[in-house]
Chains A and B, each alone.
Chain A
Amino acid sequence: MRESLDQMLFVYAAFAVTIIATLLLVGQSWLTMRKAEARRDKVKGK
């Protein structure tokens, strides 16, 4: 029996996983960097 699969559903899923994971990685890296540099500057200023 041949399954009928909507290929575009798989495309949406793959794009969604990639975009969400990449944006989370970029956002987390940027925010952590800003936080660490702000802490360093605060310590420097004390």
Chain B
Amino acid sequence: MHLYANPARFLRIAKWLTPLLLVSGLLVTGVALLWGFYNVPPDRLMGDTVRILFVHVPAAWLGMGGWTAIAIASLVELVWRHPLAAIAARAAAVPGAVFTFICLVTGSIWGRPTWGTWWVWDGRLTSMLVLLFLYFGYIALSGSLAREGQSSRIAAIFGLVGAINVPIINRSVVWWNSLHQPPSITTGGSSIDGVFLTPLLIAVLGFSLLFGGVVLARMRTILAEVQAEARLRRKAQKAEFTTEGATA
């Protein structure tokens, strides 16, 4: 892990990996969405709305995956003081929030024709909404700490504590009565027919590649800002020192 702790080494890898992930992500996602839109037959119970699952399910997984990434990076930051961990956590927050938002909106759009309502305050939907608010809190907190030049340890603790919501979201449909269906894909297998499962898994892969590319791009942004600020500060100090030397 410490092999990649060097920002220069990370940047060398990220330079070619970022466009690769973004371009392959766009291609794979495009194929999956076209497949789901044109090639999948209507479901016996859900009808055409089954196609919404090709955008809703990957968004839900990445919303939860984003916070899991924040929690892991926060742990790495607190325990091993990995210099890139805090940057990785900050970089994962906005894409995680965007995919959580997409999950909530597409779920609501799916719910109207399927359940007859846009929203219900059940365990799954409410815990997913809580996740979105956690993201907002994390983005505000980590952004303000970075602007003030303070340590990101408070944000890391927030990232770890907020991770308690991820298993709650996952188990909510098992623990509480819900309109939301129980998990269809588990470690024991899948109850989804292959005709729907294949494009769904391709969509998950495509959106995950995009997520990875976006996180890398945002890490590069944060690193570039830090490097530019450090260089400007050094130059300002040097100029101040030279002026003092001249007047002495």
Contact = CB atoms under 8 A, between A and B. Distances in A.
Interface of A: 3, 5, 7-8, 10-11, 13-15, 17-19, 21-22, 25-26, 29-30, 32-33, 36-37, 39-40, 43-44, 46
B22 A7 contact: no
B207 A17 contact: no
27 contacts: A7-B113, A10-B109, A11-B37, A11-B49, A11-B51, A11-B52, A13-B109, A14-B56, A14-B109, A15-B37, A17-B109, A19-B33, A22-B102, A22-B210, A25-B95, A26-B22, A26-B214, A29-B95, A29-B221, A30-B217, A32-B217, A33-B221, A36-B221, A36-B225, A37-B224, A40-B227, A43-B231
B110 interface: yes
B112 A43 contact: no
Contacts of A32: 217-218, 221
B214 A29 contact: yes
Interface string B115-138: 010000000000000000000000
A21 B102 contact: yes
B33 A26 contact: no
A14 B106 contact: yes
Given A8-B48, A15-B52, 6 more contacts: A7-B49, A11-B37, A25-B98, A30-B217, A36-B221, A40-B228
B47 interface: yes
B214 A17 contact: no
Interface of B: 18, 22, 26, 29, 33, 37, 47-49, 51-52, 55-56, 59, 94-95, 98, 101-102, 105-106, 109-110, 112-113, 116, 207, 210, 213-214, 217-218, 220-221, 224-225, 227-228, 231-232, 235
Contacts of A11: 37, 48-49, 51-52
A26 to B, nearest CB: 6
Nearest to B18: A33
A37 B216 CA distance: 13
Contact of A18 (B106, B113, B214, B221): B106
B178 to A, nearest CB: 20
Given A5-B113, A14-B106, A26 B49 contact: no
A-B residue pairs, 10 tightest by C-beta: A36-B224, A18-B55, A7-B48, A40-B228, A40-B224, A29-B217, A14-B106, A14-B52, A33-B217, A36-B221
Contacts of B94: 25, 29
Nearest to A8: B48
A10 B224 contact: no
A18 B173 CA distance: 24
